[in-house]
Amino acid sequence: MKIGLGIGHCISQQGARNITHNITEFELNKNLCQDISEKITDHEVVLIYRDTYVDLPEKINLTNCDLYIEFHCNASENSKASGSEVLYYQWSPKGESYANTFIKTIIESVGLPGRGIIGCNKNDRGGYVLANTKMPAIILEPFFIDNDSDYETFINNRDTYINNISNTINSLVKL
């Protein structure tokens, strides 16, 4: 398979941030995707950076990857919000199946509460990319970056997360 790893957000709009630890979603996921890509031994891998949000689905489609995984961190007005989610396009059974695989890996690796998988439509958060990519696509939200406790839990388990996500990717079969 060819696996697309998408770094959420971009250098000029870095997404949510953790103020205490002075890090943004973009910075965190750029390093994370690099580390994960180096451990993908059983599939071809392509790192995909966002230029503009409008052009992103076409950029992804042009890679002809078999599965697109975009890396984000959650954020909330509620500073106590905590846990892991995976988003998929609600009309994609293959996306749903991959989402189920990855939410299990995330919960086992990070140890935060599982908030489940969320079937999005095109107008939901992340839905534009999920609905307009021609291959199955999922968005990983392993923790809330604006919650210090979630962030610290994730960082303490970062190596495990990288190993387990890469192992899960290595063992994927094309649906």
Binding site for Zn ion (CB under 5 A): 8, 15, 25, 72
Q: How far is the CB of 94 from Zn ion (least distance, A)?
A: 23
Question: Between 4 and 8, whose beta carbon lies closer to Zn ion?
Answer: 8
Kindly state the DSSP code that residue 62 receives in the 8-state scheme: H
What is the rounded (10 degree) CA torsion for 121, 119, 56, 27? 130
**Nearest-CB residue to Zn ion?**
72
Are 175 and 92 contacting, i.e. CB atoms less than 8 angstroms apart?
no
Q: Give CA–CA dist 124/1, Å, rounded.
A: 28
In angstroms, what is the minimal distance from the CB of 34 to Zn ion? 17
Name which of 25 and 150 has its Cβ closer to Zn ion: 25
* Pick 8 or 136: Cβ nearer Zn ion: 8
For residues 50, 51, 55, 57, the Cα torsion angle rounded to the nearest 10 degrees is -20
| Least spacing, CB of residue 125 vs Zn ion, in Å | 8
CB atoms within 10 A of CB 166: 20
**C-beta of 25: minimal distance to Zn ion in Å?**
5
How far is residue 170's CA from residue 175's CA, in Å, rounded to a whole number? 14
C-beta closer to Zn ion: residue 56 or 172: 56
Residue 44: CB minimum distance to Zn ion, A: 25
Q: Residue 50 or 72: which CB sits closer to Zn ion?
A: 72
Contact 171, 116 (CB under 8 A): no
